[in-house]
A = this chain, B = another copy of it.
Amino acid sequence: MIEDNNSDSETSAGANGAIQRVFEALSSQPRRKILAYLAHSSLTAGEIAARFDMSKPSISQHLSILETAGLIAKERQGQFIHYSLVQNNLVNTLNGFVQDVCPVSRPIKRESKELGRGGQHKDRT
């Protein structure tokens, strides 16, 4: 584990842990996929698990990580637990990070334009 003195570009030490948790949560494809599903509509843990070729406990663990990162929220309804997206956290964090890496000198809007005329991007179109 690194003892990073200088912290991130962000400030408050508290935020660092949060940011770390968010990025770590996003580093897994199953978890990103869960987020994508939840972007659609809220789902129970079981419904989510049913969409993956993975055991329920594993999915439960992923859900836990996403929740700890503040990206999703759960609410019990009877025997079911419904999970839903917490959009602000995701967007705020990612956006905050992008702002950080692309300082004012290069507003994000400008990026879009450049992107529009297709610079070099992977095959993600």
Oligomer copy total: 2
Does A76 sit within 8 A of B, measured CB to CB?
no
Closest to A106 in B: B91
List residues of chain B with CB within 8 A of the CB of A93.
122, 124
Q: Is the CB of A9 within 8 A of B33?
A: yes
CA distance in complex: A10, B40 (Å)? 14
Task: Please tell me which one of the listed residues B53, B112, B124 contacts residue A3 in the complex, with CB atoms under 8 A apart.
Answer: B53
Binding site for B on A (CB under 8 A): 1-6, 8-10, 12, 14-16, 18-20, 23-24, 26-27, 29-30, 32-33, 35-36, 39-41, 49-56, 70, 85-98, 100-103, 105-125
Since A1-B55, A4-B33 are in contact, a sample of 13 more A-B pairs with Cβ atoms closer than 8 Å, ordered by chain A residue number, is A2-B29, A6-B33, A12-B123, A14-B122, A18-B124, A19-B124, A23-B32, A36-B122, A39-B100, A39-B103, A40-B123, A110-B112, A111-B112
